[in-house]
Amino acid sequence: MGFLWHQLREAVPLIWSGHDDIMRLGWVSIRLALVATAIASAIGIPLGCAIGIGRFRGRRVVHAIANASLAVPSVIVGVVVLILLLPRGVLGGLRIEFTLTGVYVAQTLLALPYTVALTAAAVNALPPGLLDQARALGAGRGQLSRLALREARIGVLAAVIAALGTALSEVGAVVIVGGNIQNHDQTLASAVLQQTTDYTDYPNALALAIVLLVLTGLLMAALTVLGQRNDALRLRLRTR
Amino acid sequence: MSAPLLACRGLTVARGRREILHAIDLELRPGEVVALLGPNGAGKSTLLGALAGALPPVSGAVELHGRVAVALQSPDLARRSVLANVVAALAWWGVPRPERHPRARAALATLGAEHLAARPASELSGGERRRVHLARAIAVAPDVLMLDEPFAGLDGAARSDLLADVTGALRDPARATLVVVHDRAEAWALADRLLVLIGGELLADGAPGELLAAPPSPPVARFLGYDGELRGVDGEESERLLTRPGHVALDPRGRLEATVTRVIPTEDGARVELSLAQGRLSATVDGPPPAAGARVRVALRGGVRFPA
Amino acid sequence: MTLLWAELRTAISLIAHGDPYLMQVIGFTLQVAAISTAVASAIGIPLGLVIGLGRFRGREALRILANASMGLPPVVVGLVLFLLFVPAGPLGSLHLNATRTGVIVAQSVLALPYTVALTVAAVRALPRGLPDQARLLGAGRAQLAALALREARVGVMAGVIAALATALSEVAAIVIVGGNVYGYDQTLASAALFASNAAMYAEALAVGIVLLALILLLVGGLSLLGQFGGGIRLRLGPAA
């Protein structure tokens, strides 16, 4: 255990001293996660809501596709986005390959399945009587959506937090689209990868990993609290 | 009289810091069917759990001579066929494999459910589900059988059908059965003996007819349907008289004066609530009832006296 | 679309001609996926049953821990495992770093939270009365476990599917522990990363296509097998 302990002891002061790179990477990661998730939420939550409560032909198929999209590996999204962004690619004119902007695009695409599919699931899980009653009283599509999202807000919030978590920890697409260039377009996660494999700078890697762990830990704590509130809510509804 | 299969003395059970059951004494003897009756929150399910050994008592002990099977209030069945569910219960009980199928079928037949044997449990109606749930508990042939509200959630017709079928199925000379019932009708239909639990205390223990004719205390009397109370009848200020509708008649030659406060129509007439100087009464009337606010005369044909 | 189209055509011919590198990577990927999922299930499902059915102090804490562990960033898990397996480290004598066995071990560790947490969730979703009733009819612990497993099989299967999906898509830990050595211990996902970084875009696409096909086949097939009515239990962890 001595080796691991030794590396940890060297890592801690790096965090404590607010080592520049670590702080910067932290902020880059947080900003990336927030922006990508925000865009994915703005698009995905309404979409997921429509899939969850809509009554159109092929709804089940669309729902299944949304669920399936969760299983698409991040590396595939990364490869496709990169090829599109390369100079000879369709979006080559944007010249954002191997830049942070490109990473933003990829991360938004990766966050989208979470916001769509998990929102659809949350909304779908509502007692059908609630929405049927609203429909019977003449509620329009917009009103139904607002009602559904309000009632399922815990599940929707969980979807957003899950998307945030993914965006923070994701490595494959970040490295592929961004190229993992130091001081340019790295995140905490991709920097851990580089420090370990390319530079074998283990204390640095550990320091980055600890910061990443703290951030995702906060998200997990938030999810846990939400989960408890959801259980309490369901218990209250059951014993009424 | 044979030795009891289950006995407890001074049983006290708590949940957390709240005492739910206080000093319960009771016995269950072979061959009898005992009904446990009480208002919501009295502790009936807790008592069942404690007697079955699932809840440790704070004081007192439960003596068991044999095995106990409890059928919980919710008839949760596994997602398999009806027969498979009963066979599984026999497997849990430890019955040898060759005996399981025959005993399962016999138990289903006792409850009039043998035609459901191959049906998936998810396709059963409420009444059918309850039959299979009961068949499970009977099939294992325990020495003590406890049922928690076996008719809960059934509508009128399903309930009376099941009630009729169950009364025969529950009786077994080698077994003691304790049934938590929801209302007096079920208790009367099923039981030789009635236990009344109110506020965690066992306040009555006896044959249904005897308890009804002579309830041991006012709370028990009120729970058994004595809803009328008068004080100072015959000038006796130190006593109160509790009555059931059967004890009260509207009679123009009656000694007491009353005012009708409420009339509730029923299928065969009406229930009439009366207010008197000495208290209040309720009576049943066949045929057209008096109007609310009318003054009538009342005759008493019984009732039970308690100290005031 | 010119670049994408050109690389796509090359990629398809690589697949069609059974390029040996591709075949080797596919073979190893299947090996990792199969073994790590099997190990994660063999350990995780019984563990999940114990936590789901058990009535002991700290059970709720374990459940929360299992759920939270799904959110651990794989890159951090990879780093920790790597440091444990380093020759100077506590498990150094096992010589797992830069080996295929090491990759399989790492992936098994990453898959474990899914089998545990989703099994717990599936057991908890059963009608509470059923295990209680079985206990009151004399069922012993083994019989209760068999009952719970049978009744909750859809949810348990979801955990196995999630484990499989992560085994196929994971990149960071595999690269860190295994070293991502060409022709030796690359999986389809890590090979995509490798090829992309080496500007071998046709190879990256080929790998990506096969990976997508594999995921659709395996995950989709198993999901369909697990009944339509069961609904798809969604992962709440990072995808890479």
- Hey, what are B150's tokens? 């076996």
Task: Please check whether residue A70 touches C, CB under 8 A.
Answer: yes
B72–C129 CB contact, under 8 Å? yes
Can you give the pLDDT at residue C36? 97
Domain segments of chain C as ranges:
19-225
Can you give the pLDDT at residue A18? 66
| Continuous H helices in B171-276 | 184-190, 208-213, 218-223
Each residue's pLDDT tens digit, B181-236: 988 889 999 999 999 999 999 999 999 999 999 999 999 999 999 999 988 877 77
8 Å CB contact between A88 and C2: yes
Residue A238 has pLDDT above 70, yes or no: no
Q: How far apart are CA C104 and CA C111, in angstroms?
A: 10
The secondary structure of residue C219, as a DSSP letter, is: I
Strand-pair partners of B296: B258
Residues of C with CB below 8 A from A103's CB?
A: none
Can you give the pLDDT at residue C232? 41
Q: Where are the beta strands (DSSP E) in B133-247?
A: 144-148, 176-180, 193-198, 201-206, 228-231, 239-243
Q: Which of A88, A169, A211 to mutate to test the interface with C (most CBs of C within 10 A)?
A: A169
C90–A213 CB contact, under 8 Å? no
Can you give the pLDDT at residue C235? 40
Residues of C with CB below 8 A from B75's CB?
A: 129
Can you give the pLDDT at residue C239? 37
Between C223 and B300, the higher pLDDT residue: B300
8 Å CB contact between B201 and B216: no
Span of A47-51, B86-90, B235-239, C129-133 with lowest mean pLDDT: B235-239
Q: How far apart are CA C25 and CA C183, in angstroms?
A: 7
Of B253, B241, B252, B308, which is closest to residue B281 (Cα–Cα)?
B241
Q: How far is A141 from chain C (nearest CA, A)?
A: 25
Each residue's pLDDT tens digit, B255-283: 888 999 999 998 888 999 999 988 899 99
Q: How far apart are CA A76 and CA A70, in angstroms?
A: 12
Residues of B with CB below 8 A from C143's CB?
A: 91-92
Which CATH architecture group holds B6-219? Answer: 3-Layer(aba) Sandwich (3.40)
- Would you call B270 helix, strand, or coil by DSSP? strand
Residues of C with CB below 8 A from A209's CB?
A: 73, 75-76, 79-80
Q: Band of the pLDDT at A237, cuts 50, 70, 90? A: low
Residue A236 has pLDDT above 70, yes or no: no
Q: How far apart are CA A66 and CA A119, in angstroms?
A: 10
- Phi then psi for residue B304, to 5 deg, are -125, 135
Residue of chain B whose alpha carbon sits nearest to that of C138: B93
**Mean pLDDT throughout B122-142?**
94
C236–A227 CB contact, under 8 Å? no
Can you give the pLDDT at residue B242? 92
Contacts of A203 (CB under 8 A, 6+ apart): A7, A10, A11, A14
Facing A162 at nearest CB: one of C172, C180, C236:
C236
Q: How far apart are CA B68 and CA B88, in angstroms?
A: 17
Partner B, chain C 130-149, Cβ-Cβ below 8 Å: 130, 132-140, 143, 147
> Do A and B touch, counting CB pairs below 8 Å (3 needed)?
no
Q: Band of the pLDDT at B85, cuts 50, 70, 90? A: very high
Between C233 and B249, the higher pLDDT residue: B249
Domain segments of chain B as ranges:
6-219, 227-307
C90–A202 CB contact, under 8 Å? no
- Whole-Å CA distances, A116 to A40, A49, A69, B8: 8, 8, 9, 59
Residue of chain C whose alpha carbon sits nearest to that of B52: C136
Can you give the pLDDT at residue B269? 86
Partner C, chain A 211-230, Cβ-Cβ below 8 Å: 212-213, 216-217, 219-221, 223-224, 227
List, for chain C, all residue ranges whose pLDDT scores fall below the cut of 70: 1, 226-240
Burial of C125 (0-12, 13-18, 19+ CB in 10 A): middle
Residue B138 has pLDDT above 80, yes or no: yes
Can you give the pLDDT at residue A99? 87
Q: How far apart are CA B21 and CA B28, in angstroms?
A: 18
Radius of gyration of chain C, Cα coordinates, nearest whole angstrom: 20
Between B130 and C237, the higher pLDDT residue: B130
Q: Which amino acid is at B14?
A: A
**Mean pLDDT throughout A183-191?**
88
Q: Label residue B125 left, alpha or beta by phi (over 0 means left) and psi (-120 to 50 means alpha).
A: beta
Residue B126 has pLDDT above 60, yes or no: yes
Can you give the pLDDT at residue B264? 92
8 Å CB contact between B204 and B42: no
Domain C19-225 = CATH 3.40.50.720: no
Residues of C with CB below 8 A from B67's CB?
A: 138
Q: How far is C125 from chain B (nearest CA, A)?
A: 13
Which chains have at least 3 CB atom pairs separated by less than 8 Å from chain B?
C
Domain segments of chain A as ranges:
2-239
* Chains B & C: contacts with CB separation below 8 Å: 49
A169–C205 CB contact, under 8 Å? no
Contacts of C206 (CB under 8 A, 6+ apart): C10, C11, C12, C14, C15, C19, C22
Task: Please check whether residue A83 touches C, CB under 8 A.
Answer: yes
Residues of C with CB below 8 A from A172's CB?
A: 169, 171-172, 189, 192-193, 240
Q: Which residues of B96-132 are buried (b: 16+ CB within 10 A; e: fewer)?
A: eeeebeebbbebbebbbbbebbeeebeebebbbbbbb
Percent of chain A's residues with pLDDT above 90: 42
Given the candidates 2.40.50, 1.20.1250, 2.60.120, 2.20.25, the CATH classification of the domain at B227-307 is 2.40.50
Q: Which of B64, B76, B97, B134 to mutate to test the interface with C (most CBs of C within 10 A)?
A: B76
Q: How far apart are CA A163 and CA C159, in angstroms?
A: 20
Can you give the pLDDT at residue A30? 95
Task: Please check whether residue C240 touches B, CB under 8 A.
Answer: no
Can you give the pLDDT at residue A199? 84
Can you give the pLDDT at residue A239? 46
ipTM: 0.88
- Hey, what are C113's tokens? 């939270």
Residue A114 has pLDDT above 90, yes or no: yes
Facing C138 at nearest CB: one of B74, B77, B94:
B94
C68–A224 CB contact, under 8 Å? yes
Radius of gyration of chain A, Cα coordinates, nearest whole angstrom: 21
Q: How far apart are CA C173 and CA B121, in angstroms?
A: 46
Q: Band of the pLDDT at B2, cuts 50, 70, 90? A: confident
Span of A93-102, B18-27, B98-107, B169-178 with lowest mean pLDDT: A93-102
Domain A2-239 = CATH 3.40.1160.10: no
Task: Please check whether residue B121 touches C, CB under 8 A.
Answer: no
User: To which H or E segment does residue B260 belong?
Assistant: strand B256-266
Average of per-residue pLDDT values in chain B: 91
Q: How far is C223 from chain B (nearest CA, A)?
A: 20
